[in-house]
Amino acid sequence: MSENSPNPESLAWGGLDRHTLSSTAISVVIHGVMLLLLALVAFPKHRIKPDFVVMETVVVDNPIAKSDDNFEVQPPKLIENSVNNLANLQPTTNVIAEQPNMLNIDVNQNELQARIEAEAFLGQDHREGDFAGRSEEARTILVNAFGGNASTEAAVANGLKWLAEHQQEDGSWHFDHRGDKCDGSCNSPGNLNRATVAATSLALMSFLGAGNTHLKGKYKPQVERGLNYLMSVFAKAETPGDMREIPSGNSAFYTQGLATITLCEAYGMSGDRRLLKPAQACIDFIIDSQHPEAGGWRYRLGEVGDTSVVGWQVMALASARLSRISVPVKPRKLAERFLDSVQLDQGAYYGYTGPEKKPSTTAVGLLSRLYLGWTPDRPEVKKGVAYLSSVGPSRDDMYYNYYATQVLHHHGGPEWVQWNKVMREQLLETQDRSDGHAAGSWAPRDRHGAAPGGRHYMTCLSVLTLEVYYRHLPIYQRASIAGKEY
């Protein structure tokens, strides 16, 4: 990786506003894409007042015909059987903090000090909004207060190093990570070869989560080149903001959600206005693609929706708002309607395409609810959290772990303390600590066989999960505001 930090002015984003309509009819083919069950997030932070002019809503003239291919709809790898309850695993390190009742447990002086510092930090009005926790100083405070430690931060650092080592020459990342620079000793590549936008977005989210942007941070050059890659895809889209890459594939709206989150966060963190229109266009594309009655999104335009795909779009809408990009109320209300249609017990539990009680879809449903304005102290949230706590972190389903960890973090309390102890130790134990090229990455632990996302996907989700302490500020801080806005 070059150590030179390219001049921001060299970014190849000039003329973006023109969304050149060079048509790239990326056509289909996707064999057996099972789809990434990715993850991502963003929450509305208090005191955020959108202050940018909203672009005109883009009317999507649905360019994608209903696909005639017969993909099997693959529900997220749920779960029951793949989840190990690790509740009894004894953590080897101590830590931690409890939220929101920070001072109600017996703590030693260091822990108490960490919480006092965190309270002081969280009580401030941060110019950077929800992303304030990502600065170096804030990270230290929040890691100490919320249950991370030097080991989790080292794991994040090593994971980012591996990702930087596997960036392609054109700035992208691939689920088959073996490319320009890998010496071939890292096994378990993914097989979603054409989903480069999704792979690139996940990597960028991992770097952004630790405070890197194209303007600052250790990995500034990598972030810049990655954003350049996304911008090159953006510039080729026939419909402005369409980042699906393979519109007819099952990965289409996962990709759209991930790319949108990435652009919104990059804009929100850097304030670089060259990113505003692209981010807004991606958000508008998501809004225009929502099912007008059911409120969901799925693989192709016009489908009613499933919880997994909906979760990524809700996170994208939340990322936009956290980045001060305007999002109308209507799509958020519609998304709530979709969640209503798959919930059980007034919203404590969620299914995939209908009401059910499943761990991973419950995690996605609850996190979506929190971003859409529910407060962590609602009885339904508490019930759902109790359920996730009883299931515990999974040994092999990082998609579930990624969502559930965030839900538990925002909820706080003893449930979070226990969850974090198990999740944290599991991630530290399973990271590659060899001297080889795979050092710092995580191998897939997919009991179902070949993992579509492979080592790259596992590494990104693991890093993002370990960034939970500071990637987004705790949602209870925003409770009163959310109530006002919704």
- Cα 148 from Cα 155, distance rounded (Å): 11
Nearer to Zn ion, 182 or 348 (CB): 182
CB of 183 to Zn ion, least distance (A): 6
Q: How far is the CB of 176 from Zn ion (least distance, A)?
A: 11
b/e string for 364-375 if b means 16 or more Cβ within 10 A?
Answer: bbbbbbbbbbbb
- Which residues lie closer than 8 Å to 388 by C-beta, 6 or more apart? 359, 362, 363, 366, 404, 407, 408, 415, 419
Tell whether residue 316 is a contact of Zn ion (CB under 5 A).
Answer: no
User: Shortest gap between Cβ of 158 and Zn ion (angstroms)?
Assistant: 13
Of 96 and 182, the one with the shorter C-beta distance to Zn ion is: 182
In whole angstroms, the minimum distance from the beta carbon of 169 to Zn ion comes to 15
Sequence length of the chain is: 486
Which residues between 135 and 194 bind Zn ion (CB under 5 A)?
182, 186
N-term to C-term CA, the chain:
45
The CB-of-173 to Zn ion minimum distance in angstroms stands at 12
Q: Which stretch binds Zn ion (CB under 5 A): 61-69, 153-161, 281-289, 431-439?
A: 431-439
Instruction: State the chain's maximal CA–CA distance in angstroms.
Output: 63
Q: Dihedrals φ, ψ of 344, to 5°?
A: -125, 155
Per-residue binding string, Zn ion, 383-422, x by CB under 5 A, is ----------------------------------------
Under the binding rule (CB under 5 A), the answer on residue 223 touching Zn ion is no
Nearer to Zn ion, 364 or 438 (CB): 438
In the bound state with Zn ion, the residue whose beta carbon lies nearer, of 186 and 275, is 186
Applying CB under 5 A, the site for Zn ion has a residue count of 3
**Residue 416 belongs to what H/E stretch?**
helix 413-430
d(CA 208, CA 219): 9
- Contact status: 437 vs Zn ion (CB under 5 A): yes
Where does residue 237 rank: exposed (0-12), middle (13-18), buried (19+ CB within 10 A)? buried
Instruction: Provide the minimum distance between the beta carbon of 454 and Zn ion in the complex, in angstroms, as a whole number.
Output: 12
The smaller minimum CB distance to Zn ion, of residues 113 and 187, is found at 187
DSSP 103: T
> How far apart are CB 162 and Zn ion at their closest, in Å?
7
Burial (0-12, 13-18, 19+ Cβ within 10 Å), 232:
middle
- Closer of 182 and 231 to Zn ion (Cβ): 182
Task: Yes or no: say if 290 and 18 are a contact pair by the CB < 8 Å rule.
Answer: no
DSSP per-residue string spanning 467-482: THHHHS--GGGGHHHH
Nearer to Zn ion, 178 or 324 (CB): 178
| CB 301 to Zn ion: min, Å | 37
Q: Are 41 and 322 in contact (CB under 8 A)?
A: no
CA 413 centroid distance within chain = 23
- Least distance to Zn ion from the beta carbon of 4, Å? 23
Structural contact between residues 395 and 426, judged by C-beta atoms closer than 8 angstroms? yes
Smallest distance, Å, CB 458 to Zn ion?
A: 14
Query: By C-beta, is 291 or 437 nearer to Zn ion?
Result: 437
> Please, what is the minimum distance in Å from the beta carbon of residue 154 to Zn ion?
19
What DSSP string runs through 132-157? GGGSHHHHHHHHHHHT--HHHHHHHH
Q: How far is 237 from 402, CA to CA, in rounded Å?
A: 30
Tokens of 158: 């090593």
Rounded Cα gap, residues 246 and 228, in angstroms: 19
Instruction: List the x/- string, 296-315, binding to Zn ion by CB under 5 A.
Output: --------------------
CB of 397 to Zn ion, least distance (A): 24
The one-letter amino acid at 358? K
Q: Do the beta carbons of residue 192 and residue 36 sit within 8 Å?
A: yes
Closest CA to 65 of 306, 235, 304, 303: 303
Indicate the residue among 19 and 455 with the shorter CB distance to Zn ion: 455
> In terms of CB distance, is 384 or 454 closer to Zn ion?
454
Residue 364 or 460: which CB sits closer to Zn ion? 460
Cβ distance to Zn ion smaller for residue 186 or 259: 186
In a 10 Å sphere around its CB, with 0-12 CB exposed, 13-18 middle and 19+ buried, how is residue 119 labelled?
middle
Binding residues for Zn ion, rule: CB under 5 A, are 182, 186, 437
